[in-house]
Amino acid sequence: MKTKIETALNEQVHAEFFSFYLYLSMAAYFKTQHLDGFAHWMRTQAQEEYSHAMKLFDYLIDRGGDVNLLGIDSPPANWSSPSAAFEAVVKHEIHITNRIDELVSLANAENDHATSVVLHWFVNEQVEEVSIADTLFHQVKMVEDNPHGLLMLDRELAQRPDVSLTAPAGGE
């Protein structure tokens, strides 16, 4: 594995772990707001981000690269409103999408076809992540001033299935 690719993938592992921290922080924020469904949704999202980091972690090892875990800064702990938290999610997912796009460009420029194939899973995942985050942001914004609507959305978000904290075997 070329050094440029290895370094960039390690940086993306770091970004995915920061995403894990960010969404875990949001889960704590929503718990303090007594919005347990929102907290559950964010905690599940955090678990998903952890699995993304581990997918890249395992890929680096499988390709004979070195994993270099970087320090993770503390994420924000409070937001002015539920919609502000979800707006931050949308912005963060767009940021991660841009990072993935840059990685794909780098892999293509370096003729690293294996990395390019792995990253295409992330490209598709990010389309879904941004779409869901944007929809939820707009839904929260619509009902934010209506306590009954907010509680209904809270109950809906509580129904999100949990995800495993382990990366699937074989990088899938």
pLDDT digits (tens, 9 = 90+) for 70-128: 999 999 999 999 999 999 999 999 999 999 999 999 999 999 999 999 999 999 999 99
* Domains identified in the chain, total number: 1
Give the burial string for 132-166 (b: 16+ CB within 10 Å, else e). Answer: ebbebbebbeebbeeeeebeebbeebeeeeeeeee
Model confidence at 168: pLDDT above 90: no
- Residue 138: which domain range? 3-69+78-171
Q: 47: burial class by Cβ within 10 Å (0-12, 13-18, 19+)?
A: middle
Question: In the 8-state DSSP scheme, what is residue 168?
Answer: P
* CATH code assigned at 142: 1.20.1260.10
Question: Of 157, 153, 164, 96, nearest to 129 (Cα)?
Answer: 96
Question: In the 8-state DSSP scheme, what is residue 110?
Answer: T
